[in-house]
């Protein structure tokens, strides 16, 4: 009998609610363009915040430390509040980083390559965007706030260095774990994400 070596086939099975951090699908540039080109969503009475804006995020401009101003207090906070509007076109991307770090993994860079292709396309080239970092519920609020800012800044820096996207088009904001996508499971992978929200202010 002759034995033949048969290459193994690797498969990833996605189970709802399971904590799986590998092999996230990359959202293609055309999908990003479609989402960010959509008209603003109408605000319902129950979802409308004061002044039509969300004020939980913290501005992450270079030089701002962990004690940077809370959005809504001071000029930096006012800028964040005015730019991050919940009715604006947006998309959430699974940009992968090293655990507890702002160092991009190869999968994260591939996703940002698609984002760069989208926001440098003629349909979006004249727009500005909020880059909002979100973490899961691990760690303290202070650490999560700082990490979400570092990741938002890492996204901005990569888009600038690898794709010549002007920093003036990207406003990094950190939300820490204040806006969990799955509040029932604060540690779920889906809570760790980067949100791109259009603003033409």
Distance (Å, rounded) from C-alpha 56 to C-alpha 173? 10
- Residue with more model confidence, 42 or 82: 42
Q: How many CB atoms lie within 10 A of CB 103?
A: 12
- Please report whether residue 184 resides in a domain: yes
- Please report whether residue 94 resides in a domain: yes
Distance (Å, rounded) from C-alpha 121 to C-alpha 123? 5
- Please report whether residue 8 resides in a domain: no
Question: For the chain, what percent of residues have pLDDT higher than 70?
Answer: 69
DSSP 61: -
Strand partners, 130: 171, 197
Range of the domain at 87: 29-39+55-199
Contact between 50 and 82 under an 8 Å Cβ cutoff? The reply is no
Flag whether pLDDT at 15 surpasses 80: no
Contact between 81 and 72 under an 8 Å Cβ cutoff? The reply is yes
- Please report whether residue 44 resides in a domain: no
- Please report whether residue 152 resides in a domain: yes
**Confidence at residue 89, expressed as pLDDT on a 0 to 100 scale:** 94
Mean local confidence (pLDDT), 10-29:
51
- Please report whether residue 133 resides in a domain: yes
Report pTM.
0.75
Q: Per residue in 145-174, pLDDT tens? A: 999 999 999 999 999 999 999 999 999 999
- Please report whether residue 135 resides in a domain: yes
Flag whether pLDDT at 33 surpasses 70: yes
CATH of residue 66:
3.30.1330.60
Sequence length of the chain is: 201
Instruction: Please tell me whether residue 59 adopts helix, strand or coil conformation.
Output: strand
Residue 36 makes CB contacts below 8 A (sequence gap 6+) with 89, 90, 91, 118, 119, 124, 127, 129, 196, 198
The domain total for the chain is 1
- Please report whether residue 46 resides in a domain: no
**Confidence at residue 83, expressed as pLDDT on a 0 to 100 scale:** 66
Distance (Å, rounded) from C-alpha 168 to C-alpha 38? 22
Residue 117 makes CB contacts below 8 A (sequence gap 6+) with 29
Mean local confidence (pLDDT), 51-58:
56
Q: Per residue in 101-145, pLDDT tens? A: 999 999 999 999 999 999 999 999 999 999 999 999 999 999 999
């Amino acid at each position: 009998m002759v034995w033949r070596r048969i290459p193994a086939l690797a498969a990833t099975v996605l189970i709802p609610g399971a904590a799986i951090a590998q092999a996230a699908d990359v959202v293609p540039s055309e999908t990003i363009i479609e989402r960010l080109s959509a008209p603003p969503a109408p605000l319902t009475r129950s979802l409308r915040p004061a002044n039509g804006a969300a004020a939980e995020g913290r501005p992450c401009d270079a030089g701002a430390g962990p004690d940077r101003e809370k959005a809504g207090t001071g000029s930096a906070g006012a800028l964040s509040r005015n730019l991050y509007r919940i009715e604006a076109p947006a998309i959430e991307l699974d940009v992968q980083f090293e655990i507890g770090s702002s160092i991009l993994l190869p999968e994260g860079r591939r996703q940002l390559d698609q984002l760069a292709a989208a926001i440098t396309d003629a349909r979006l080239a004249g727009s500005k965007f909020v880059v909002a970092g979100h973490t899961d519920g691990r760690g303290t609020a202070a650490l999560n706030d700082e990490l979400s800012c570092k990741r938002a800044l890492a996204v901005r820096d990569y888009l600038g260095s690898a794709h010549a996207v002007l920093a003036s088009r990207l406003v990094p904001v950190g939300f820490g774990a204040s806006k969990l996508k799955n509040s029932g499971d604060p540690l779920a992978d889906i809570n760790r994400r980067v949100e791109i929200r259009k603003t033409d202010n």
